[in-house]
Chain A
Amino acid sequence: MQDFKPQPLKGVYANSDELGRDMNRFFLESLLESAYNRLQQKQEQ
């Protein structure tokens, strides 16, 4: 299995909607990373 890593934030945004969308994507990918790593740990045990 390859590591799952969230894509980094874009960094500069035209408005708060655009920033919010990118931040939400980053959070959800980070949660997925957490779940993915936990699953990988269980498989290795």
Chain B
Amino acid sequence: MDQPFYDVKVLEDGCRFDFLSIGYTATHKAILYKETEIPFLFSLTLAEVQWDGKLSTTINNSNADVKPTMATITKTFETFTAANPRAVIVFMGNTDAKTRLYRIAISRDLDKLLEKYVIWGIRNDNGNANCLNPISPINISSLPADF
């Protein structure tokens, strides 16, 4: 959480945060919070903004800037939850690699995150997501790789 992070441009009434990811290349990315059909439940998405303005969740350019990108997402948590204090935010990777990356990022700063947020996770055993559990420093170490 103390990592350097990117400056963001706040768009769409505070539900979209655009930034320039700078690693091997400079890539325009967007962090999006979208309310679901369940009130106060928001999905969180990290997408790449293509040259034509379209948003992609499939491009993986391995830009070698995971830490500042994750720190930037964490910063947007603070901004978004300050404006939406009752929000419940859900996110997951759309590939095993991304899911593992998010798990590592949460694990790294879990103590600090738990001071501010209640965190739940879905366990994934043998490819089957099978239960929703509260996450604590004690039980996160027992989670399988696909948390």
Q: Is the interface of A mostly helix, strand, loop or mixed?
A: helix
- Could you list which residues of chain A lie within 8 angstroms of chain B, going by C-beta atoms? 3, 8-9, 11-21, 23-24, 26-28, 30-31, 33-34, 37-38, 41
Q: Is the CB of B129 within 8 A of A27?
A: no
Question: Apart from A12-B56, A15-B54, A23-B43, what are 9 other A-B pairs with CB-CB below 8 Å?
Answer: A8-B94, A18-B55, A19-B55, A20-B34, A23-B45, A34-B132, A37-B129, A37-B130, A38-B130
Number of interface residues of B (CB under 8 A): 27
B105 at the interface (CB under 8 A from A): no
Q: Is the interface of B mostly helix, strand, loop or mixed?
A: strand
Q: Is the CB of A11 within 8 A of B36?
A: no
Of the A-B pairs whose beta carbons lie under 8 Å apart in the complex, a sample of 21, sorted by A's number, is: A3-B128, A9-B57, A12-B57, A12-B58, A13-B55, A13-B56, A13-B57, A14-B54, A15-B55, A16-B15, A16-B32, A19-B32, A19-B45, A19-B47, A23-B43, A27-B43, A28-B36, A34-B122, A34-B130, A34-B131, A41-B130
Q: Within 8 Å CB of B12, what residues of A?
A: 16
Nearest CB of chain B from residue A8's CB, rounded to whole Å:
7
Nearest CB of chain A from residue B12's CB, rounded to whole Å:
6
